[in-house]
Structure 1
Amino acid sequence: MWAARQWYNAMEAPLSRFVKDAALREELLQRVYLEARLANLPPELVLAVIQVESAFRADAISSAGAVGLMQIMPFWIRELGLPADDLKDPWRNLRYGCTILAHYLAVERGDFTRALARYNGSLGRTWYPERVMRAWQRHWRAPSGSERVTVQR
């Protein structure tokens, strides 16, 4: 509980650039932390993916049809969910995104570069993973001494 609170406090300031509403910011941080932990992902990585994918806009829709915070393609509903799932729901979108990223990380045996490239559909190219990793390092560093999620694949 203490580690989670320390993490929320450290991540709130950088997130305030993107999410102005304090209550929404707190809920988003809680959800990111929970979903990342459930998927065994570093929550800071999830924040970096969201920053790159949608700049924290839950209503974002790409020209390719990807939806929401983590820019999920609608075909994933057939693969992972139920026909009634709404990818515009930010919490459902977050669950899908973390599940998909964790799947790709397992497929790539813990290789973040390859997993992120798969997530983006750009396997074999590094521009997308580099963007996410840069955002992760510049904006979403974990507070020192806090609990880190380790990826064991």
Structure 2
Amino acid sequence: MLGWMAPMMGKLEALYNLPAGLLRSVALTESGGNQFAVSGAGAQGLFQFMPGTARDMGLRGNDVFDPIKSAEAAARYLSMLLQKNGGDLNKTLAS
């Protein structure tokens, strides 16, 4: 699935000034690329959003399992975290 999403993820990374390949890397790390992943802690979807964060990023209901909607939300969220962390990618990923 991440293969067919690559062009869209690249556009999101450019739009939100994220490093190329970041969204794919996060999706692989967080869920192994499984859009239906659910962790024992309650994180859900491709990017493993916790319910509160998912709501904050505009994801409603089962949107967290929609790879396109969750990728858009993840791009916005990572961009926001990158700004809060002064552009430090390591701190962004840790937060």
Normalised TM-score (structure 1): 0.56
1:25 alignment partner AA: G
| Identity of matched residues, % | 33
Q: Which residue of 2 aligns with 1:74?
A: 51
Structure-1 separation of matches of 2:28 and 2:74: 13
2:3 alignment partner AA: R
Runs (4 or more) in structure 1 with deviation over 2 Å come to: 82-85
Q: 5+ unaligned residues in a row in structure 2: which ranges?
A: none
Is the aligned partner of 1:36 residue 2:13? yes
Q: Is the partner of 2:79 in helix, strand or coil?
A: helix
2:31 and 2:37 in contact (8 A); partners too:
yes
2:37 and 2:46 in contact (8 A); partners too:
yes
Could you say which structure has the higher helix fraction? 2
Q: Larger RCO: Structure 1 or Structure 2 (Cα < 8 Å, ≥ 6 residues apart)?
A: 1
Shift in Å, 1:44 = 1.1
Structure-2 separation of matches of 1:30 and 1:73: 26
Aligned counterpart in structure 1 of residue 64 of structure 2, from 87, 105, 130: 87
RMSD, aligned α-carbons: 1.8
Tell me which structure has the larger Cα radius of gyration.
1
